[in-house]
Amino acid sequence: MVRSLLTKPGNRADRSEGVTQIESALPFPQGEGENGASSSRSPKEGDREARLLICARALHLGFDAIGFCRAELGAEARERLAAFLQAGQHGDMGWLADRAEQRSHPQALWPQARSVIVAGLSYAPDNDPLAVVGMRDRGNISVYARNRDYHDVLKGMLKHLAQFVVARFGPAVKVFVDTAPVMEKPLAQRAGIGWQGKHTNVVSRAHGSWLFLGEIYTTLDIPPEEPHADRCGTCTRCLSACPTNALPAPYRLDATRCISYLTIEHHGPIPHELRPAMGNRIFGCDDCLAVCPWNRFARATPHAKLHARDELNAPRLAELAQLDDARFRTMFSGSPIKRIGRDRFVRNVLIAIGNSADRTLMPAAARLTADSNPVVAEAAAWACERLNRAAAPGGGG
């Protein structure tokens, strides 16, 4: 039974979906102090109690969903990863292939692991995440990157939860947040958090496509949840919404065509044939996530650190193109955008300028044709050519 931490006391639990409300009127279970000290029974003497105590602490810490599964993956997840890598659809992300065995088998990463605690944190926006896509002089930044780096926020919360588990039950633990060879999406499905949708991301009935995931591997033997059933049905909105056709079939992603990959992970020049479809997306892409019908049940995230910074909601392309390394680092301090560096980011901005058909942006692009980074200079020349072509009679892409 997945514990959806947004199920409030008094609401009817939907047993068919495995959602159970957590009865926790107190921030800590009875008999337990702030430091988790207690003489209560071990998990073997009270498995249900252990799960409820962990869930209650997760609620107190601010998590929105939590579930449990064995430290193992099914054959389907392993086969999908193998096919993805064999087709070369991981692009420059060689690290995916380098540790594929550990991704496919959690106990290959840590042989002592018995169970996985999967936690979810909602980052659902409070407005239409695609509203900026049509603003030609502005840049569109993926919802997840409009404030603090979620790795830092989520890892801090997970460490507090892990400390509680160790203090309460005494096992060994390891905490992971998207920085280790962990297939977190299949684990989330096995833990009952949600299911892996046709866009390959996790979908939750309560939170839609807007969940950050983190994991605690532990030597504690925790009874697993029932894996969440796939609720996509016949819907293919996410496949149709992808600007670059990076979803060639349900549950299949070609990362080499994905705007998130191209703007974040890809280091070199972006293929010319994909540039026009990128529009003004300068860091990531939310199109496949935003059109998911399950989002209608998602409430805007209550977590202040994940609320969008005003200056990142619709930044002006002309101003972003002027960033040097120092100003870039200052502007994006504490943001996941800082991870890609100034050159890659400005490359993305220039492609958006080239797609804008806005001649007032020509000076910003022209200045960067002499940039010391050849990838930036090439993107600037391309942007100028596109703007000139758009201004010509009968012009366009």
pLDDT value of position 180: 81
pLDDT value of position 7: 35
pLDDT value of position 16: 31
Residue whose entry in the numeric block shows the structure tokens 């509203």: 131
pLDDT value of position 2: 40
* CA gap 74, 224 in Å, rounded: 14
Q: Categorise residue 33: left if φ over 0, alpha if ψ from -120 to 50, beta otherwise.
A: beta
* CA gap 210, 298 in Å, rounded: 8
* CA gap 92, 90 in Å, rounded: 6
Residue whose entry in the numeric block shows the structure tokens 């201004």: 391
Reply yes or no on whether 178 is catalytic.
Answer: yes
Decide: 77 and 104 in contact? Cβ < 8 Å: yes
Decide: 328 and 239 in contact? Cβ < 8 Å: no
Active-site residue among 14, 47, 92, 178?
178
* CA gap 176, 184 in Å, rounded: 9
The tokens for 261 are 């990959």
Do β-strands 281-283 and 140-141 pair in parallel, antiparallel, or remain unpaired? Answer: parallel
- Say if residue 249 is exposed, middle or buried (CB neighbours under 10 Å; 0-12, 13-18, 19+): exposed
Indicate the pTM of the whole model. Answer: 0.86
- Own/partner contacts of 20-27, CB < 8 Å, gap of 24 or more, are 22/52, 22/55, 22/56, 22/59, 24/55, 24/56, 24/59, 24/60, 27/60
* CA gap 234, 236 in Å, rounded: 6
The tokens for 248 are 């060639």
Q: What is the pLDDT along the chain (397 residues), one digit of tens a residue?
A: 344 443 333 332 332 333 332 333 233 333 343 344 443 444 454 577 889 999 999 999 999 999 999 999 988 888 888 888 787 888 888 767 777 787 778 988 899 999 999 999 999 999 999 999 989 999 999 999 999 999 999 999 999 999 999 999 999 999 999 878 889 999 999 999 999 999 999 999 999 999 999 999 999 999 999 999 999 999 999 999 999 999 999 999 999 999 999 999 999 999 999 999 999 999 999 999 999 999 999 999 999 999 999 999 999 999 999 999 999 999 999 999 999 999 999 999 999 999 999 999 999 999 999 999 999 999 999 999 999 998 777 665 5
Tell me phi and psi for residue 69, to 5 degrees: -150, 165
Q: How many residues in total does the chain contain?
A: 397
Indicate the residue type of 376. Answer: V
Indicate the residue type of 257. Answer: R
The tokens for 40 are 């209560």
* CA gap 134, 181 in Å, rounded: 37
Decide: 343 and 373 in contact? Cβ < 8 Å: yes
* CA gap 317, 278 in Å, rounded: 14
pLDDT value of position 34: 38
